[in-house]
Amino acid sequence: MSARHAHSPALDRRGFLRLASAVGVTAALAACGGPATTSGSAPATAPADIDYTGVKPASQITWWSNNPGSSQAVSQQIIDAFHASQPDIKVNLVTAGKDYEEIAQKFQTAQTGGTLPDLVVLSDVWWFRYYMLGSIIPLDSLIKTVGIETGDYRDQLLADYQYNGGQWAIPWARSTPLFYYNKAHWAAAGLPDRAPTTWAEFAEWAPRLQSAGTGVQHAFQHPALAGYAGWSFQNNLWGWGGAWSNDWDITCDSQQSVAALQFLQDSVYKNGWAGVASTDSANDLSAGAVSATVSSTGSLVGILTASKFEVGAGPLPGGPVASTPVCPTGGAGVGIPKAIPKENQLAAATFVKFLTSPENTVSFAGATGYMPVRKSADVSSLVAKTPQSKVAIDQLAVTRVQDRARVFFPGADQEMGKSCANILTQQADVQTEMNALKKTLSGIYDQDVKPNL
């Protein structure tokens, strides 16, 4: 059957439109932002198996991607290699958006009567709503049918897409935030060649960087808030003993969470050593306008290519309460729509097995900076070429599952970004903002999450 197929949905339309309204386009998501979801308080009944006995893979499938980390070229190279090894299945790579939000919106629109892909990139803040809507299938049956060795995937990354006894996506373009810094600025300030161990330590370093005569605007640049605040600021919240949420309970207004965000606001206004990126803090670092920033591992290759100085990379700093684990995973996986023929689902899974093979995950990581997702992947050549990549691989062992409020609540990431923008660009009162955010997030949970669990 053709890979291009229209879909007349069997979803409850009112429920879909209500959920869709909660995720309207309000702010562009960054090309990374981390997932992490494990089966918790939801029913423990595993999804029903899908029988692929006697099904022949479709001869042609379409893969929707936003090409995270400028990955279109390496993705096409992997597709070409797949064609050479399995000529019976043709994969068409379609750029379905410039970022995770655009591709998700297109996929969402297709549910109501458009043309669905056979494979789609699903980021951390989008896949769960499609689980709730019944738009994607559990992959467990396909994993068995095509022989995907789940035990060889890095446990944290695979677990990010597990819920209610099912595996809903396979990890692919996966990342963590890293602390990037300009080694020349570090040397000029007389600092040790490493990332700070804690944010308190960096607060001590920052004035030395500001006065080192490097011409920087700020010692540190906070990431663009629309795409990164909900993701990367979890590092600060956890380091102070706070969080956006604890399981389903919203805790953004807690004393610890407010203290963490107050530190961030003080870095901009009271102490003046930090700025806020308008678009991409990685570009600000590469241009030499700032001495350090936090950005995704998916930005690693781009930062190294654009910078005319030696770039240092280190793990995220800890806080006064916790120094580990204070780093979230991030990035995207690939999932398969429900309302496509079994032949296409089987062909898509066959390609996913090849796409995420140990060899291809190293090739993808080398071209982008994302992390190899397989345990057996030989990363020696990758680390030899780009030593900074080892930081992300090592940091993976101490990552933490993301707060459910960010990855499970439709539209919550945008709301977090708005609140953080008020705090860091308007000097709004932190407690007042977090009280308001809690009310907003509670509304999202009550209306769009709880009824669908």
pLDDT digits (tens, 9 = 90+) for 134-185: 999 999 999 999 999 999 999 989 999 999 999 999 999 999 999 999 999 9
CATH superfamily, domain at 5-175+332-377: Periplasmic binding protein-like II (3.40.190.10)
Q: Which residues of 263-302 are buried (b: 16+ CB within 10 A; e: fewer)?
A: bbbebbeeeebbbbbeebbbbbbbebbbbbbbbbbbbbbb
Looking at residue 30, its pLDDT comes to: 34
Q: What percent of the chain is predicted at pLDDT more than 70?
A: 90
Looking at residue 156, its pLDDT comes to: 87
* CA dist., res. 224 & res. 268, Å (int): 14
pLDDT digits (tens, 9 = 90+) for 20-70: 444 333 333 333 333 333 333 333 356 788 999 999 999 999 999 999 988
Residue located via tokens 């496509």: 340
pLDDT band at 9 (very low <50, low <70, confident <90, very high): very low
pLDDT digits (tens, 9 = 90+) for 385-403: 989 889 989 998 889 989 9
pLDDT band at 294 (very low <50, low <70, confident <90, very high): very high
Which residues in the chain are classed under CATH 3.40.190.10? 5-175+332-377, 177-328+404-452
Looking at residue 46, its pLDDT comes to: 60
Looking at residue 453, its pLDDT comes to: 84
Looking at residue 319, its pLDDT comes to: 98
pLDDT band at 113 (very low <50, low <70, confident <90, very high): confident
Looking at residue 53, its pLDDT comes to: 95
Q: What is the rounded average pLDDT of the residues 71-84? A: 97
CATH topology of domain 177-328+404-452: D-Maltodextrin-Binding Protein; domain 2 (3.40.190)
* CA dist., res. 96 & res. 302, Å (int): 22
Q: What is the rounded average pLDDT of the residues 427-438? A: 98
